Amino acid sequence: MSGKTVLVTGGAGFLGSHLCDRLVEMGDDVICVDNFFSGSKQNIKHLLGHPRFELIRHDIVRPLFVEAEQIYNLACPASPKAYQYNPIKTIKTSTVGMVNVLGLAKRCGARVLHTSTSEIYGDPEVHPQPEEYWGNVNPVGPRSCYDEGKRVAESLCINYHLAHQLEVRIVRIFNTYGPRMHPDDGRVVSNFIMQALHGKPLTLYGDGLQTRSFCYVDDLIEGFIRMMNQTETIGPVNLGNPGEFTMKQLAQAVLEITGATSGMTHEPLPQDDPKQRCPDISKAEKYLNWRPETNLHQGLQRTIEFYRHVSEAQ
């Protein structure tokens, strides 16, 4: 089905801009909403002027009045550096902003896909993490503005669904990377690549043996589309790559692909930094027939190529 009017909140962000590309390519009319707190006009510059693309500068903490058949809610800073910069703003986006998005959907009769996060599992005591796991989150820690905000947003989605029969879909995103990640957003993939390209040692926190799973952006966007357009489950459904790597393995891969010889250095582990993070994607496989296709080496090569162009342009 194409030719729908689709609203993407946070549409000028890393993931949002790739989603807008895909929806326009599919033939949908896309309304991109962003307040540019962490998004960038550069990410959607190539879409400006396209007949099926519209950009609105707006903060979803304030009510929004547009018409749409589907809404992808991606509005929220996602890197620790960004969401801890203004924690009150972060939690308001996930709570007040979520209420506004759901209210808009209720008025329009739109289906909402909300992008939640693996951070709701906190520092997990169950591994890998299935959707049934309730998490181990510090409600007053430095990451709580994001973790707890996203947990409340999921609750709001479910309660709007139960109270108003609103069509909702919830996905939980695990670490995703690729072109258009901000070079200075503080996430591990961008940190390692930029350090390597500038000949600096790659910073490992703790012993570097904590693990993450890394999903390439194109695979994740495919998961979004499939989740939105299926009718078997409202979720939540984990979307991520079940391949698990230590931070040291990731650093070694970045050094190898970039050809950098700068080595690694160690810093203390930040508070509440999860030791393990890996998705159980059996529900995504069952309901969406979805599994990531891009391996870490392929994805890193494409991402490093993007950052090389960014560095050369500066």
Q: pLDDT tens digits for 67-112?
A: 999 999 999 988 778 788 889 999 999 999 999 999 999 999 999 9
pTM recorded for the entire structure = 0.94
Can you tell me which residue has the tokens 């951070």?
119
208 within domain boundaries: no
Q: Is the pLDDT of residue 197 over 50?
A: yes
| Under 8 Å between Cβ of 154 and 143 | no
| Under 8 Å between Cβ of 110 and 71 | yes
Q: What are phi and psi of 134, to 5 degrees?
A: -85, -15
105 within domain boundaries: yes
Percentage, residues of the chain above pLDDT 70: 98
Q: Active site residue: 121, 146, 160, 307, which one? A: 146
| Under 8 Å between Cβ of 272 and 310 | no
Span 108-163, pLDDT tens digits: 999 999 999 999 999 899 999 999 999 999 999 999 999 999 999 999 999 999 99
17 within domain boundaries: yes
311 within domain boundaries: no
Judge whether 133 counts as a catalytic residue. no
Q: Is the pLDDT of residue 284 over 90?
A: yes
pLDDT at 313: 65
Q: What is the mean pLDDT of the chain?
A: 94
User: Which CATH number covers residue 114?
Assistant: 3.40.50.720
- At 314, the pLDDT band (50, 70, 90 cuts) reads low
Question: Domain count of the chain?
Answer: 1
Identify the domain containing residue 56 by its residue range. Answer: 5-180+214-242+278-292
